[in-house]
Amino acid sequence: MARYSEEQIRALGLAREALPKHVAIIMDGNGRWAKQRRLPRSAGHRAGVDRLRGIIRMSSDLGVASLTLYAFSTENWRRPSDEVGTLMALLIEYFTKEIDELFANGVRIRIIGAYEDFAAPVRAVIERAMKRTEANTGLNLNIALNYGSRAEILRAANLAMRQALAEGKREITADMLEACLYTAGQPEVDLLIRTSGEQRASNFLLYQISYAEFLFPAEYWPDFSDEAYLAALRAYGRRSRRFGGLEEDA
């Protein structure tokens, strides 16, 4: 996997300076994709996993610094146990099959969320994947597992508070809090994509998306093609981001 040159990026209708540094994706619509085809929901999740390769590759080739994918929320435990089982089996299969290619492409895998609650075989593959790729310097691939943003912020506040107490301080600062988020050291989210037309943040990266642009493409996640991703990146590039200020040339 080679990084695209300036010309290649332009040929895709994009500009390097207008690309997001951090893209976050809520991969929604696997169930509806399957229903549309009269297939079991598990087939939708499998088709969803198959989409990861293209999106990760494109992000990496374009030089996006971080890609955060919502794979399993703290609320997903409420799904029927066979569906939870399917998702866990897919996770194991994914990390087992894809790790060599991810490693070869310089991808660094981080799991964000309370993955310690998962069963031992799942923990084992994800810990192996994180360890194996920890020295990689390419795309930061954050996979949110048993993730909820409120829980993340609370955890970070407690960690920062403990640090403050240990240093004899009475208050925590934004820098201290941010250093305790799972995404510490990574750029803030520039672009949040939620597929399937749903328009909700669903407890995903609430602190990190403060100034993000939101896009809600209609495609179900398994149908979210490389071309649809490029279209989203082009739409992002056309947005004017002011971060609460005024247009630069206003």
**List 28, 30, 140, 146, catalytic entry:** 28
142 binds ligand FPP (CB under 6 A): no
The sign one gets for the Cα dihedral 135, 185, 72, 50 is negative
212 binds ligand FPP (CB under 6 A): no
43 binds ligand FPP (CB under 6 A): no
* Residues near 156 by beta carbon (within 8 Å), at least 6 away in sequence: 177, 178, 180, 181
Quote the DSSP letter at residue 186: S
Q: Which H or E run contains 4?
A: none
Place of tokens 């089996």: 89
Place of tokens 């229903």: 35
The CA-atom distances, in angstroms, between 207 and each of 115, 142, 186, 204 are 20, 16, 13, 9
Q: Are 156 and 148 in contact (CB under 8 A)?
A: no
76 binds ligand FPP (CB under 6 A): yes
One residue of 45, 108, 110, 194 binding ligand FPP per CB under 6 A: 45
One residue of 14, 20, 24, 30 binding ligand FPP per CB under 6 A: 30
28 is catalytic: yes
The CA-atom distances, in angstroms, between 205 and each of 38, 131, 212 are 33, 24, 10
One residue of 4, 18, 21, 32 binding ligand FPP per CB under 6 A: 32
Minimal distance in Å, beta carbon 60 to ligand FPP?
A: 15
One residue of 25, 56, 91, 160 binding ligand FPP per CB under 6 A: 91
Interface stretch with ligand FPP, choices 22-30, 113-121, 164-172, 231-239 (CB under 6 A): 22-30
In what order do the strands lie in the sheet containing 140-147? 108-112, 140-147, 66-73, 22-26, 191-194, 213-215
29 binds ligand FPP (CB under 6 A): yes
148 binds ligand FPP (CB under 6 A): no
One residue of 19, 28, 102, 176 binding ligand FPP per CB under 6 A: 28
76 is catalytic: yes
**List 76, 203, 223, 226, catalytic entry:** 76
Phi, psi (rounded to 5 degrees) for 146:
50, 45
55 binds ligand FPP (CB under 6 A): no
Q: Tell me which residues touch ligand FPP (CB under 6 A).
A: 27-32, 45, 48-49, 71, 76, 87, 90-91, 94, 143
Supply the residues annotated as catalytic.
Answer: 28, 76
